[in-house]
Amino acid sequence: MIKPRAFNRSFWLRVLLLFIIALIPLVLFLALTAPNSSDLQQIAQRTANELDRLLTLREQQVFTVAAFPSIRAYASSKGAARAARAAVALNELQSWSASDKNVREAFIVDKNGAVSLTTLDAEGIDFSARRFVQDALAGQLAASPVARDRGEFSNYYAAPILDNSGDIAGALVARVAAQELWSVLPHGANWYAVLSDENGVRLDDSGDPSRRLASFGGMDAVRATRILNEQTYGVELPQVRATQFNHAQQLLVQGALDQLRPTDFNADTFAAQRLTSAPWTVLVIAPQSTVPALAAQLVIPLIAALIVALIGALVLQRLA
C-alpha cells in the first residue's frame, strides 16, 4: 500500500515526465496524419480522373445506343411509319434501363426537344430549354449537372440521333441516378471533397450532403435567371440556395482556381482539380481546426496518457 508521504514532489515530477513521454506518440501521430496540400492534390487528381472516366463512359454508352438501327429508324421516321417502329425502339430502351439499375429513364426527343418515346409516362414533355438537349440536338455529347426531377436527383446524358443522311433526327437521353456520381467523391477523417460546377453550385459535398445543390455564395441576376429559364437543376429545383462563401463563388464562376485561398473555404488547406470532360472542379478541403473538434479528438488520448503516467509513477515510487 502506498503511504500518503509517497505522493511528494518527486512523485508528481515523475508523473509530469512520464505524461510528456506518453504524449510523444500522440504528437507524432497528429503530425503524420495531418493533411498537406500535396496529399490533397493527389486525392483531387484521382477523384477528377474517376469522374472524367464515369462521365465519358456514360456519354459513350448513350452515343452507342443512339446508333442502334431501331432507334435511328424510329427517330427519322414520321406519322404511321414512326408509330409502327415505336414498339421495337421502346423495347431497346426498356431492355437498357432494366439491365442497368442506375438508369432511371431513357427517352427520345424530337428535333424540337419534345419527348416522343420514353420508358416512363412522359411523352409530350418539352425538354427544349434544357442545355443537355440543346447540345445533343446541336450534334454534341452532353452531361447535365445533378438535377431534381420526378422526385429524385439525377444526371442526364444525351447524344444526337442521326438519320441515314447523317442529319440530326432527334436526341437520345438517359436519366441516371445521382448516387452513381455521388459514390465517387471520397471523405477522410480530416478532409472532405466537393464537386462544384461552373455556376459555383455543389453537385456533391462528402463533408455535408445537406449542402448538395447549394451554391458557395450568392449569384448575379443574369446567372440566376439563366438557371431558372434552362431548368439547370431540374423543374423541382428552379433556384438554388446560397451559403456564405462569396469570394470562393466568384472565383469558381470565373474559373480562377489559382486565385483561391484556404481562407475562401474556412480551411487550413485545400486542393483543386478541374475535370476535362465537363466544366466542373473537384475541391478537397481540410477544414480549420476548432477548439471543440480538437478537444473531442484529443480527450481520450490525453486521458490515456495521464493514466499511463500515473501508473508508471506509482511503479517507480514502489521501486524507489
The answer to whether 33-52+181-292 and 60-178 have equal CATH topology is yes
Residue 106, all three cell numbers = 431513357
Q: What class does CATH assign to 60-178?
A: alpha beta
Provide the CA 312 distance to its chain's centre, in angstroms. 49
Quickly state the pLDDT bin for 55 (edges 50, 70, 90). very high
Burial of 49 (0-12, 13-18, 19+ CB in 10 A): middle
Q: Report the range of poorest mean pLDDT among 134-138, 196-200, 286-290, 313-317.
A: 313-317
pTM for this entry: 0.81
Quickly state the pLDDT bin for 122 (edges 50, 70, 90). confident
Domains of the chain, residue spans: 33-52+181-292, 60-178
By the 8 A CB rule, do 204 and 181 touch? yes
pLDDT in tens, 169-200: 999 999 999 999 999 999 998 999 999 999 99
Half-sphere exposure of 46 (CA within 13 A, CB side): 12
Backbone angles phi, psi at 213, to 5 degrees: 60, 30
Greater confidence, 66 or 288?
66
* 306 vs 25: CA distance, rounded Å: 13
Neighbours of 150 (CB within 10 A): 14
Residue 259, all three cell numbers = 486565385
Q: What average pLDDT score do residues 30-50 get?
A: 81
**In whole angstroms, how large is the CA radius of gyration of the chain?**
28
* 219 vs 216: CA distance, rounded Å: 9
Q: What is the pLDDT of residue 121?
A: 84
Q: What is the pLDDT of residue 29?
A: 56
Greater confidence, 32 or 41?
41
pLDDT of 304 > 90? The answer is no
By the 8 A CB rule, do 127 and 194 touch? no
pLDDT in tens, 247-300: 999 999 999 999 999 999 999 999 999 999 999 999 999 998 655 555 555 577
The C-alpha cell 465517387 sits at 184
pLDDT in tens, 200-255: 999 999 999 999 999 999 999 999 999 999 999 999 999 999 999 999 999 999 99
Percent of the chain surpassing pLDDT 70: 88
Closest C-alpha among 114, 104, 117 to residue 72: 117
CATH annotation of 33-52+181-292: 3.30.450.20
Q: What average pLDDT score do residues 143-164 get?
A: 97
Packed helices 79-99 and 37-66: angle between N→C axes, nearest 10 degrees: 140
From residue 195, alpha-carbon distances to 158, 247, 284 in Å are 21, 17, 9
pLDDT of 7 > 60? The answer is no
Mean pLDDT of the chain: 89
